[in-house]
């Protein structure tokens, strides 16, 4: 019997996936295999219909205004590049982001700034909670501000930002609001209309339980008038023209779709809809509460971000005294079969904010919908065991041994 393997790296990609995801992808590969929009035969039209069905499911889950305004992307980074560069590449101007943001926001903005195309303001966050003060964003808005971008849930601290409050500020100022939902889509309720989100970017392979190589950008109707394209090419529509179509979604989707991936994503989204986002979010909060209880008052064990369930999702960065982050990941795998990710997690400013950048970052444990409270308890006990063992080892070291003799 093989030793137990407990996957706690859902912030990187979710595992396992619902069975329906693989069945849908297998059906496409075995029975369809066509490229949507490239033929009038049944297999091509059915592929197109299934891609359209994924847009409708996304529109329902995120309460969008129009399904065709969900643009498929390679991943969340790809979607954010379209959002950021599509707004800034031609017009330039000023952008606002925060220190909690992932490199998927930070790097496109830095690249534009290095070219002299834009200026940017990076808002600091509370070093304990990781929360941004919306009033700081309000004060940073200038007459030439072209976008506000923020990571909804930190992939380092699990901090949930007040996006609705920030959305109100952005809408009142007439500034497009971009939300990176890499760690929140499929985990928490997101309503693009009520939250006043202009552009929502998310991967398909994390909380939405689809395969790698999928993602989307929701573009609020009207924003496409100011959002430029970042790539052009064949769409299967108006092929007599050598200009990119101006209508949605073709304006932003060039080349053949990742049909097998989108069809798998569609089933992942349907699974989330069937379970309901409310029940999934409540279940994750139970896991968060269980993990917090398990880590309470353990000497030598430290975690970062909100101290309770308020403003928190199921992403935890931890450190254990005496362990480098990679050493802790190795110990968790070798002794307990627990799979985690250590390092700076592509979020250098977040680690600077919480004081772990110079330490090589943290060890991250992140939850998914197929975990149980028993799984999370096991992980908390494993961390406590390592912390206790390390403390005992330190006390019985050379100085302690000499004193005993």
What architecture (CATH level 2) is domain 6-15+277-400?
A: Alpha-Beta Complex (3.90)
Q: Are 169 and 137 in contact (CB under 8 A)?
A: yes
- pLDDT class of 4 with cuts at 50, 70, 90: confident
- pLDDT class of 401 with cuts at 50, 70, 90: very low
Closest of 253, 264, 204, 203 to residue 47, by C-alpha: 264
Round to whole Å and give the CA distance between 112 and 114: 5
**Which two tokens mark 287?**
């896991």
Round to whole Å and give the CA distance between 298 and 293: 10
- pLDDT class of 150 with cuts at 50, 70, 90: very high
- 402 pLDDT above the threshold of 60: no
pLDDT one-digit tens code per residue, 158-170? 999 999 999 999 9
Q: Are 359 and 292 in contact (CB under 8 A)?
A: no
Q: Are 147 and 89 in contact (CB under 8 A)?
A: no
193: left (phi over 0), alpha (psi -120 to 50) or beta: alpha
What's the pLDDT at 405? 23
Concatenated DSSP letters for 136-160? HHHHH--TTEEEEEEESB-TTT-BB
Round to whole Å and give the CA distance between 365 and 157: 10
pLDDT one-digit tens code per residue, 41-83? 999 999 999 999 999 999 999 999 999 999 999 999 999 999 9
- pLDDT class of 1 with cuts at 50, 70, 90: very low
| Rg (alpha carbons) of the chain, rounded to whole number | 23
Computed over every residue of the chain, the mean pLDDT equals: 95
Name the DSSP letter for residue 32. Answer: I
60: left (phi over 0), alpha (psi -120 to 50) or beta: alpha
**Which two tokens mark 356?**
């772990």
What's the pLDDT at 70? 98
Round to whole Å and give the CA distance between 102 and 79: 13
Closest of 344, 318, 362 to residue 106, by C-alpha: 344
Strand 341-343 and strand 362-366: the pairing is: antiparallel
Instruction: Return the H-helix or E-strand segment holding 354.
Output: helix 348-354
For residue 236, give every residue at least 6 positions away whose Cβ sits within 8 Å of its Cβ, in sequence order, or none. 35, 36, 37, 38
Q: Write the CATH number of the domain with boundaries 19-275.
A: 3.40.640.10
- 366 pLDDT above the threshold of 70: yes
pLDDT one-digit tens code per residue, 95-104? 999 999 999 9
pLDDT one-digit tens code per residue, 310-325? 999 999 999 999 999 9
Round to whole Å and give the CA distance between 385 and 382: 5
Q: Are 125 and 131 in contact (CB under 8 A)?
A: yes
What's the pLDDT at 2? 57
Lowest-pLDDT choice from 187-201, 236-250, 349-363, 369-383: 236-250
For residue 353, give every residue at least 6 positions away whose Cβ sits within 8 Å of its Cβ, in sequence order, or none. 99, 100, 124, 125, 127, 130
- pLDDT class of 397 with cuts at 50, 70, 90: low
Q: Are 7 and 364 in contact (CB under 8 A)?
A: no
User: Where does 148-223 have alpha helices with state H?
Assistant: 163-173
Instruction: Return the H-helix or E-strand segment holding 395.
Output: helix 373-395
Residue spans of the domains in the chain: they are 6-15+277-400, 19-275
Three-state SS at 358: helix
pLDDT one-digit tens code per residue, 281-339? 999 999 999 999 999 999 999 999 999 999 999 999 999 999 999 999 999 999 999 99
How many H-runs (helices) and E-runs (strands) does the chain carry? 12, 13
pLDDT one-digit tens code per residue, 212-228? 999 999 999 999 999 99
Residue 73 sits at φ, ψ, to 5 deg, of -135, 175
Round to whole Å and give the CA distance between 268 and 274: 10
- pLDDT class of 39 with cuts at 50, 70, 90: confident
């Amino acid at each position: 019997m093989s030793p137990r393997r407990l996957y706690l790296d859902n912030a990187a990609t979710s595992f396992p996936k619902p069975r329906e995801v693989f069945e849908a992808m297998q059906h496409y590969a075995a029975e369809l295999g066509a490229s949507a929009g490239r033929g009038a035969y049944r297999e091509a039209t059915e592929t197109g219909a299934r891609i359209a069905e994924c847009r409708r499911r996304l529109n329902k889950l995120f309460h969008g205004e129009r399904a065709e305004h969900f643009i498929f992307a390679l991943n969340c980074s790809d979607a954010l590049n379209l959002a950021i560069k599509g707004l800034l590449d031609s017009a330039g101007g000023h952008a606002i982001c925060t220190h909690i943001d992932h490199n998927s926001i930070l790097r496109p903005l830095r690249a534009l700034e290095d070219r002299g195309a834009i200026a940017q303001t990076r808002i600091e966050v509370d070093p304990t909670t990781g929360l941004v003060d919306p009033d700081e964003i309000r004060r940073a808005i200038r007459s030439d501000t072209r976008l506000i971008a923020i990571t909804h849930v930190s992939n380092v601290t699990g901090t949930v930002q007040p996006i609705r409050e920030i959305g109100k500020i952005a809408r009142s100022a007439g500034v497009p609001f971009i939300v990176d939902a890499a760690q929140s889509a499929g985990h928490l309720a997101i309503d693009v209309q009520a939250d006043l989100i202009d552009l929502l970017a998310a991967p398909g392979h994390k909380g939405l339980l689809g395969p790698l190589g999928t993602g989307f950008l929701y573009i609020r109707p009207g924003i496409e008038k100011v959002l430029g394209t970042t790539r052009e090419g064949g769409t299967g529509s108006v092929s007599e023209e050598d200009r990119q179509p101006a209508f949605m979604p073709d304006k932003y989707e060039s080349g053949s779709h990742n049909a097998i991936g989108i069809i798998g994503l569609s089933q992942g989204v349907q699974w989330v809809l069937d379970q309901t986002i409310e029940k999934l979010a409540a279940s994750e909060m139970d896991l968060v509460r269980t993990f917090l209880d398990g880590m309470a008052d353990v000497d030598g064990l430290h975690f970062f971000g909100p101290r309770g369930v308020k403003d928190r999702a199921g992403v935890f960065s931890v450190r254990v005294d005496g362990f480098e982050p990679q050493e802790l990941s190795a110990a968790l795998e070798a002794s307990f079969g627990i799979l985690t990710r250590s390092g700076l997690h592509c979020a250098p400013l977040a680690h600077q904010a919480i004081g772990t950048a110079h330490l090589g970052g943290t060890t991250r444990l992140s939850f998914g919908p197929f975990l149980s409270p028993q799984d999370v308890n096991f992980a908390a006990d494993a961390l406590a065991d390592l912390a206790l063992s390390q403390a005992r080892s330190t006390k019985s070291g050379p100085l302690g041994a000499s004193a005993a003799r």
